């Protein structure tokens, strides 16, 4: 017999406002300890020098992590002009300097090249694997690191303010795999100067918004008072922008066994008509949906050809 995992069956999301100088892995470990949870994971890494929204999934919520990872993310960041670093942020060693300080008009004129579907070369100090090794490990060892450009999508990139000639503040909505540090590198080059990320904060991950975030100190205080669950959002929180299908108790049993259920034509039409921020349609005409029994998510799956076929089943109580 295998050893039973230690901890409690805790299910839900902690929308953590990650503090400065903490890795995402350390944040997950801290939250897991506060809840004594068996299982935990996060939806999208934040660098130690970044703060803000780090959605942490506990228990059955980990089954919805891929959806959160694929969601649009919003960042607010400051570029400091005049100095480039090897890590492209304030933590790195200086690599080049420039006396050029772009003005607001020049910055805004350059931003259009960074919106839409673009090609981006990730930073050499990143977690991308090269021949089985992490790029940042190779870079720290002094090896030459070459990473191929890859497509990313940037929905919005705006200059918010220029508090001084040396700094500019931006907001960006972007898709999965976008590196803010690479934006600083490439925008600086476009403007004929050097630059690096001086401050970085993630304000939203899909449906998870900054206004709902809780700090680690606040969560620890709740845990100390025996009220940690007040800082836990339901598993269903990550599914708010996915078409919902109401199911009966009998259908719950079928889905829990991994069996598909038949959709009435009217229900199938209603699912197709639901408008959501994300396009969740498959190439085969299927559409992702979540089966709901009251307020409880039962399964994620695809609605296709008059059936709902479960792909992930939730096992928390109903």
Which residues belong to the active site?
A: 47
Alpha helices, H only, 194-233: 216-224
What are the Cα distances from residue 242, in Å, to 31, 42, 172, 275, 299? 27, 20, 23, 9, 12
Q: How far apart are the first and last CA of the chain?
A: 29
3-state secondary structure of 282: coil
Strands 214-215 and 12-18: parallel
Beta bridge partners of 244: 290
Whether the CB-CB separation of 5 and 59 falls below 8 Å is answered with no
Q: How many CB atoms lie within 10 A of CB 136?
A: 16
- Given a contact cutoff of 8 angstroms between Cβ atoms, the answer to whether 205 and 211 are in contact is no
Q: How far apart are CA 36 and CA 23, in angstroms?
A: 20
Residue from 18, 16, 56, 19 nearest 37 by CA: 56
| Other Cβ atoms within 10 Å of 252 Cβ, number | 19
Determine the Cα angle at 156 with ends 237 and 41, to 5°.
Answer: 35
- For residue 89, the Cα-to-chain-centroid distance in whole angstroms is 20
In angstroms, the CA 260 to CA 20 distance is 46
Cα–Cα dist 212/2, whole Å: 39
d(CA 49, CA 6): 31
Cα(138)–Cα(23) distance, integer angstroms:
19
């Amino acid at each position: 017999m295998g050893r039973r995992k230690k901890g409690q069956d805790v299910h839900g999301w902690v929308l953590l406002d990650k503090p400065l100088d903490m890795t995402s892995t350390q944040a997950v470990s801290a939250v897991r300890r506060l809840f004594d949870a068996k299982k935990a994971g996060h939806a999208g890494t934040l660098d130690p020098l970044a703060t803000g929204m780090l959605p942490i999934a506990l228990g059955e919520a980990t089954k919805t992590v891929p959806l959160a990872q694929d969601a649009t993310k919003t960042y607010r960041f400051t570029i400091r002009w005049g100095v480039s670093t090897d890590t492209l942020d304030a933590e790195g060693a200086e690599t080049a300097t420039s006396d050029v300080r772009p003005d607001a008009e020049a910055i805004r004129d350059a931003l259009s090249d960074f919106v839409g579907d673009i090609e981006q070369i990730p930073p050499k100090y990143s977690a991308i694997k090269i021949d089985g090794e992490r790029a940042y490990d190779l870079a720290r060892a002094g090896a030459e690191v070459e990473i191929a450009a890859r497509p990313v999508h940037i929905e919005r990139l705006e200059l918010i303010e220029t508090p001084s000639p040396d700094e500019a503040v931006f907001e960006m909505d972007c898709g999965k795999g976008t590196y803010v540090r690479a934006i600083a590198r490439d925008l600086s080059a476009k403007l004929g100067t050097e630059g690096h990320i001086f401050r970085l904060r993630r304000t939203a991950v899909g449906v998870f918004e900054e206004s709902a975030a809780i700090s680690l100190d606040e969560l620890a205080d709740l845990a100390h008072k025996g009220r940690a669950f007040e800082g836990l959002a339901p598993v269903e929180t990550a599914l708010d922008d996915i078409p919902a299908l109401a199911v009966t108790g009998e259908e719950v049993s079928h889905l829990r066994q991994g069996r598909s259920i038949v959709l009435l034509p009217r229900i199938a039409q209603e699912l197709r008509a639901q408008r959501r921020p994300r396009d969740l349609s498959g190439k085969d005409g299927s559409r992702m949906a979540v089966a709901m029994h009251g307020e409880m998510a039962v399964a994620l799956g695809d609605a296709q050809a008059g059936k709902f076929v479960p792909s992930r089943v939730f096992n928390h109580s109903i």
